[in-house]
Amino acid sequence: MPPRLTELSRGAGCGCKLPAAELMPMLATLRAPADARLLVGAATGDDAAVFELAPGIVVVQTIDFFTPIVDDPFDFGRIAAANALSDVYAMGGTPMTALNVVAFPLERLGAEPLRELLRGGLTVTTMAGCTIVGGHSIDDPEPKYGLAVTGIVDPGRMLTNAGARPGDALVLTKPVGAGAIATAHKRGAATADQLARAVEVMAALNERAGCQALAAGAHAATDVTGFGLLGHARALARESHLTVRIRARDVPALNGALELLEDGAGVSGGLRRNRTYADSFTDFGAGVSPVQELLMCDPMTSGGLLVALPPERAAELDGIAVGEVVRGRPGGIEVVP
């Protein structure tokens, strides 16, 4: 009997990212030549790059791929595609074309799981109105899948992680904890219902959230993925030169995630790395429980958007207000009960 997809991977979903604490300092030493056409590049750690091809013609580009977070190839494809497209939505853009990025042990697993994986990606990109125009594949004992996506964006309405303003509300458009549930399920500790709900959350497009953010006059946005809620909030705070305050009690969790974190079944290596990284920029207030701290560091795969916008317009997004942007230590995070 062929092995399960998750048996072949060391990490799971966006939890397989290289640690932010090690990656960011290295990237800071690599500076590409200046180009006035590059409107958003790697220096700000944003979700995607934005490049002006010609006056009025602006594209947004991203690539994202990872190891299996679930065993069903179709669901793996759906989640990976939604995750890659999310980077474009987080910039206020519209995805137009995509290229498949595939690493797969074809001889060991056979053609049918690969076909289902690609069908999952195609299903989600079709829903998004994005056309898959090709791709690249390699033989690899550890499966990996994702997309390189090109979209368009109006530079006058573009969202970045650098535009938050003091007093902005922070709205999160998906619950967190999918990493904990996937980890626990791999260990036989999460229920089928918990996993099914996590899969549907991860496979859901952020298209509606991106449109709502633009319509509500959002000032900044990012999506929440492998560095956890705190890691991605940190990027928004850093690039906006402000402090983000998060209310732990308001952070929405997938059903079962808190319990699985509390008993340790949902704690992954990626989560531990994120938690250690968070200590370098986060002040946890008295009354914030250890399990809440873990939840906010959980490496989310294909998470929601974290949107900074005027507080009077926060209710216009389908999400939960989890905090606010305040004056303070640039790049700092304050977590209150």
**In contact, 63 and 146? CB cutoff 8 Å:** yes
| Short-list 278, 274, 213, CA closest to 246 | 278
Of 14, 16, 130, 297, the catalytic one is: 14
| Short-list 201, 228, 232, CA closest to 90 | 232
Domains of the chain, by residue range, sit at: 5-152, 169-336
In a structure prediction context, what are the per-residue pLDDT tens digits for the chain, which is 337 residues long?
678 888 877 766 556 767 767 777 777 777 777 899 999 988 888 889 999 998 888 999 999 999 999 999 999 999 999 999 999 999 999 999 999 999 999 999 999 999 999 999 999 999 999 999 999 999 999 999 999 999 999 999 999 999 999 999 999 999 999 999 999 998 999 999 999 999 999 999 999 999 999 999 999 999 999 999 999 999 999 999 999 999 999 999 999 999 999 999 999 999 999 999 999 999 999 999 999 999 999 999 999 999 999 999 999 999 999 999 999 999 999 999 9
The residues near 210 (Cβ < 8 Å, ≥ 6 apart) are 89, 90, 92, 93, 159, 221, 305
Structural domain 169-336, CATH architecture:
Alpha-Beta Complex (3.90)
Task: Give the pair of three-digit tokens for residue 156.
Answer: 């006058």
Q: Residue 330: how many CA atoms within 13 Å on its side-chain side?
A: 5
Whether the domain at 5-152 and the domain at 169-336 fall into the same CATH topology: no
Q: What span, in angstroms and rounded, lies between the C-alpha atoms of 238 and 247?
A: 19
Instruction: Examine the residue annotation and report whether 14 is marked as an active-site residue of this protein.
Output: yes
CATH of region 5-152: 3.30.1330.10
| Short-list 15, 14, 194, 185, CA closest to 86 | 14
Q: What span, in angstroms and rounded, lies between the C-alpha atoms of 267 and 9?
A: 16
Task: Give the pair of three-digit tokens for residue 206.
Answer: 């952020």
